[in-house]
Structure 1
Amino acid sequence: MKTYRYLDLITALFVVVLIVSNVASTKVVLLGPFTFDGGTILFPLAYIFGDVLTEVYGYKRSRRVIWTGFFLLMLAALTFGLVNLLPTPADPQSQGTAQAFSTILGLVPRIVLGSLVAYWVGEFVNSFILAKLKIATQGRWLWVRTIGSTLVGQGLDTGIFLLIAFYGVWDNSLLWTVFVSNYVFKVGVEVLFTPVTYAVVGFLKRREGEDYYDRDTDFNPFALGR
């Protein structure tokens, strides 16, 4: 398989954004007219990295990165959960630290499950749509591919996460408010970063000598060996 200069760096940045976003999602924040979990501030970058990966390196390599992110996110969640369950010394300082840790990182199973499922579905749908649109547009109109795939992928990601993590916990009006705020903000970030995406994609295509078209790709997300 061809080697690349920047694929490992992009993979690392993608995974860091993913894990940091999930830790930050434990806090609901207000930003102007928007109400969303804190992870939403950074998480749109994961979709931009996903766009870059598929556009330059193709769906097959993007699939490996998505699975890498999935398993490392699961590892982080399991580690936080295990540490939260382990006993703490009885002194006040240790107890206070344990309480703070539990509040921030003691994620409930529904949130972990919602995050994993939403990420998996959203990223694979985003990558699939972008790869297909690249063929349909013959490599033209990158903005159509990045924004079009994000509209669908982020919609599924946001909706699935909120339904699994908070349906029945939050009232439906709050769920809808958070969904709309999340979705508009995430798609807005994608649109605003379009010039940056163009610059990064152009740079990578020149330096890597790659501009992959998924004409004969097996799009099965589980076909890691193909």
Structure 2
Amino acid sequence: MADPRRQHLVPIAGLFSATLIMSLILAGKIVTVGGLTFSAAVIVFPLSYVFGDVLTEVYGYASARRVVWAGFAAQLVWIVAYTIAAALPPAPFWPHQAAFETVLGSTPRAAFAGMTAYLCGEFLNSYVLAKMKLRSSGRFLALRLVASTVLGQGLDTGIFVLLAFGGVFGTDELLRIMLGAWMLKVAWEIAALPLSLLLIAWLKREEGEDHFDRNTDFNPFRLKE
């Protein structure tokens, strides 16, 4: 990250973390559109995969790994900050404590499910994209972006639904929620594909970098590049 050529890496990492925090805030609203039931977090959460694709394709898996963990830390900060804020006694003239807790609060189970799913899905997405880039010698970018997202979002959605709602809903309902959310996320990625391709091409020119992970240690818990 200290490489002076990487002048756009920090802004992208900041936007990546911002989408994760917005997703936590929006996750509490469940909506139904066109027969599909899903969390309102779908509005912004797929952006994290777009940014993850950009980071891996331009800067490499190791850089993306550090940003993924930074995003995880940002989520922890939000949860701790909210917990403290909710626990503080409200002012006598402020009647919105219950609404504050209802709108912004999430159960420990849902928070654990979301953060576990996020880590697994993002790392799978980045790993698949990096490996496919090596196998294809950097070709077929659009195909690689979609394929990595299909797998990453599939794992993310499956883990979240099972951990958050397993034992609460029946198998049919769980599968319906998984399929609906997964389809929407993949559709979101495909719709954003032209923008992703333009952004990646622009960054490669601006940064003078097109990283190939030939000697990369893909251990997700290694924080050094």
Is TM more than 0.5 here? Answer: yes
Secondary structure of the structure 2 residue equivalent to 1:218: coil
Rounded to whole Å, the distance in 1 between the matches of 2:184 and 2:211 is 30
Residue 151 (structure 1) aligned with residue 150 (structure 2): yes
Deviations 1:67-102 (A, max 9, x none): 00001101101211222223334x3x42x3111110
Rounded to whole Å, the distance in 1 between the matches of 2:81 and 2:174 is 28
8 Å contact from structure 1 (residues 81, 107) kept in 2: no
Calculate the aligned-residue CA RMSD, in Å: 1.2
1:27 to 13, 26, 29: 29
Equivalent residue, structure 2, for 1:18: 20
Rounded to whole Å, the distance in 2 between the matches of 1:86 and 1:179 is 36
TM-score normalized with structure 1 length:
0.95
TM-score normalized with structure 2 length:
0.95
Could you tell me which runs of 5 or more consecutive residues in structure 2 were left unpaired when the two chains were aligned: none
Equivalent residue, structure 2, for 1:2: 3
Could you tell me which runs of 5 or more consecutive residues in structure 1 were left unpaired when the two chains were aligned: none
Secondary structure of the structure 1 residue equivalent to 2:209: coil
Rounded to whole Å, the distance in 2 between the matches of 1:11 and 1:211 is 17
Q: CA deviation at 1:178?
A: 1.4
8 Å contact from structure 1 (residues 28, 36) kept in 2: yes
8 Å contact from structure 2 (residues 62, 224) kept in 1: no
1:67 to 63, 66, 69: 69
Runs of 4+ off more than 6 Å: none
Equivalent residue, structure 2, for 1:136: 135
Residue 217 (structure 1) aligned with residue 219 (structure 2): no
Residue 79 (structure 1) aligned with residue 78 (structure 2): no
Q: CA deviation at 1:20?
A: 0.1
Equivalent residue, structure 2, for 1:191: 190
* Alignment-mate amino acid for residue 223 of structure 2: L
Equivalent residue, structure 2, for 1:205: 204
Q: Which moved more, 1:3-12 or 1:204-213?
A: 3-12
8 Å contact from structure 2 (residues 65, 223) kept in 1: yes
